[in-house]
Structure 1
Amino acid sequence: MTAPKTFRIGGDLEVRRLGFGAMHLRPETAEDRATCIAVARRAVELGVTLIDTAHLYGWGANEDLLAEALHPYPADLVIATKVGIRHTTSGEGWRHAGEPADLRDQVDEALLRLRLDRIELLQLHRLDPGVPIADQLGALRDLRDEGKIGRIGLSEVTVAELAEARAVVDIASVQNRYNLLDREHEPVLKACEEAGIAFLPWRPAAAGTSGARSSQIAAIAQEVDATPTQVALAWLLAHSPAVLPIPGTSSVAHLEENVAAGAVQLTEDQYERLTK
């Protein structure tokens, strides 16, 4: 099976479908920081053109690190980030932050950290249940119209929430948990595919650790001379042209393994065995 190598987010922003999730780049020491910077730079060297980050990842530290590692950015590199969550010292350590004024502040803060004049893909990390969807998406629409945002995405939404958001503004991407062994959000993926919306699965490389399912993955990995992780990513790429996997790691070796999954070719039979 031959899957398309690229996707146009929002219909015009072309990226390679196999991207990189930067959430694991959270250094605690100077040595860790050097390794994390090396991983980010190696991703670009390997041809990755879509890197996903968020304010939540280290409360801005992840965005700072990417800017340190990669700025000035290559012309074809898209840094996608997320807003809509703030740090708190109580409870789970975070809270929803979808008030329009807060979203505007968060976007301005992200622009400063990433050293950008415009964020080409800005995603709402979570819908705030205490704020009308129209108000949240309306604020991002206004920021888009002002030129601070290029395209707007969502994360962890249902089909109904996606439809409600699209009634307010064009949605370019959706980021939900999804992988070969966890397809809870298949209806959302299908809705995205039908609408030409990019679907960025987080936790995309889950390949299982026991039972018949992981045995089947391991068997096919042996057949195609690849790792189980590569097979799981190759299945995602074959499953829908709208899927843009963003596997994350803090290891150069794992990064290289993940990116190499783009070259793994599954036969129709292997794809069907995995799908079943």
Structure 2
Amino acid sequence: MAAGSFRIGGDLEVGRIGFGAMRLPTEPEGDRKGAVGVLRRAVELGVTLIDTAHLYGAGANEELVAEALHPYPEGVVVTTKVGVVRSSPGAEWRYEATPASLRKQVEEGLRRLRVERIELLQLHRIDPDTPLADQLGALGELRDEGKIGRIGLSEVTAAELAEARGIVDIASVQNQYNVLDRGHEPVLEACEAAGIAFLPWRPVAWGKAGEREEIAAVAGELGVTATQVALAWLLARSPVVVPIPGTASLGHLEENVGTGGVRLSAGQRRRLDGLAGA
């Protein structure tokens, strides 16, 4: 049974279990062939949302996604993020979202992804040294020019989301959130109220889920893994949630996608809900 779908921005339909490409190796010594295989297998399994960013390997991750999937199958959406840069290899990363820099980063993303339009472009972090109106205004201009389709944010507060929505339409928010870390609950609630996609990163707490007795107990009852329980909880938490678990393992990929068939009972959900702040 599939996990269903969600329309980002009201019209861009994606499956509710995406794939985060961040953990795929892009270095020369890494298993590039394996990484390409994982991306292609994700699409074969029905994943339609692939998440990457300029920050991941200074664009190398975007190039990897294009190498694996271009020309992109119909219905597959690749979202990328901009706003964090470095001046040279080995230099420190810094927030930079001036209009000129954002335009340059988007142009580079278009080239690396081999597309004429990025359907969902997210601001990786708000630049504290640039007025938010300037940052989002620049992205709005790029949207009006047809170079990006929809605008999203990452790691924002509910107040920042509200301010941003007063400047441009916001289609998505990508914040850290999982069954054990609910610090962004107010942001999720704001997204649900507005119909904005909420893409939780680190959706399974990087293995910690399996260490919690309640999660392990529910997994045993259902005959699934702790990771699947954590993802199933996210899917049940709100219809706007689109988890983007990432992995470099084919086995873990199939485990993640298989979560679409996991159904929690009302009692199991209440037990997992009770882990907040525990």
The 10-residue stretch of structure 1 (265-274 or 87-96) with the greater mean CA deviation from structure 2: 87-96
Q: Per-residue deviation at 1:215?
A: 0.5
Alpha-carbon distance in 2 for matches of 1:78, 1:104: 21
RMSD, matched Cα? 1.8
Paired AA for residue 263 in structure 2:
Q
- What's the counterpart of residue 237 of structure 1? 235
For residues 148-159 of structure 1, the aligned pairs below 5 Å read 148-159=147-158
Query: What's the counterpart of residue 251 of structure 2?
Result: 253
Question: Quick one: which amino acid aligns to residue 202 of structure 2?
Answer: R
Q: d(CA) in 1 for partners of 2:130 and 2:30?
A: 42
> C-alpha distance in 1, partners of 2:21/2:272?
27
Question: Does 2:169 align with 1:170?
Answer: yes
Shift of 1:30: 6.1
Distance 1:72 1:136, change over 3 A: same
CA contact (8 A) 2:2 2:261 kept: no
CA shift in 2, pair 1:4/1:36, >3 Å: closer
Corresponding residue number in structure 1 for 2:214: 216
Partners of 1:3 and 1:190 in 2: CA distance:
24
Compared CA separation, residues 249 and 3, structure 1 to 2 (3 A) = closer
Relative distance call for 1:31 and 1:95 in structure 2 (3 A) is closer
Could you say which residue in structure 2 is the equivalent of 1:97? 96
- Letter of the aligned partner of 2:73 in structure 1? P
Q: Sequence identity of aligned pairs in percent?
A: 67
Report the Cα distance in structure 2 between the residues aligned to 1:209 and 1:121, rounded to whole angstroms: 30
In structure 2, distance between residues paired with 1:77 and 1:205: 24
Matched, 1:131 2:134: no
| Separation (CA, whole Å) in 2 of partners of 1:233 and 1:210 | 12
Q: Give yes or no for the alignment of 1:225 onto 2:223.
A: yes
TM-score scaled to structure 1, two decimals? 0.95
**For the Cα contact (< 8 Å) 2:26–2:60, is it kept in 1?**
no
Shift of 1:3: 9.4
2:171 is matched by which residue type in structure 1? Answer: A
Using the TM superposition, name which of 201-210 and 256-265 deviates more. Answer: 201-210
Equivalent position amino acid for 1:85 in 2: V
2:53 counterpart residue number: 54
- Describe the SS at the equivalent of 1:265: coil
The count of corresponding residues between Structure 1 and Structure 2 is: 273
Shift of 1:205: 1.2
Distance in 1 between residues matched to 2:258 and 2:152, nearest whole Å = 27
Give the AA of the match of 1:35: G
Aligned to 2:196: 197
1:87, distance to aligned residue in structure 2 (A): 1.7
Q: CA deviation at 1:208?
A: 2.4
Change in 2 beyond 3 A, CA 1:38/1:210: closer
Matched, 1:269 2:258: no
CA distance in 2: counterparts of 1:247 and 1:210, whole angstroms? 15
Q: Which amino acid aligns with 1:241?
A: P
8 A contact 1:26–1:61 mirrored in 2: no
**Change over 3 Å in CA distance of 1:195–1:92 after alignment to 2:** farther
- Structure 2 residue 34 is matched with structure 1 residue 35: yes
1:230 & 1:210 partners in 2: Cα distance?
Answer: 10
Cα drift, residue 91 of structure 1: 9.9
TM-score (norm 2): 0.95
Counterpart residue number, 1:184:
183
Taking a change above 3 Å as real, the CA distance of residues 198 and 30 of structure 1, as seen in their structure-2 partners, is same
In structure 1, C-alpha distance between the alignment counterparts of 2:162 and 2:62, rounded to whole Å:
30
**1:186–1:202 CA distance, 2 compared to 1 (3 A):** same
Q: Given residue 221 of structure 2, which amino acid in structure 1 is its aligned partner?
A: E
Which stretch shows the higher mean deviation, 20-29 or 192-201? Answer: 20-29
Contact 2:39 2:69 in 1 (8 A): yes
Q: Which amino acid aligns with 2:248?
A: S
Secondary structure in structure 1 of the residue aligned to 2:31? helix
Kept after mapping to 1: 8 A contact 2:209/2:227 = no
Tell me by how many angstroms 1:75 deviates.
Answer: 1.3
State how far apart, in whole Å, the 2-side matches of 1:254 and 1:210 are.
14
1:67 to 2:57 alignment: no
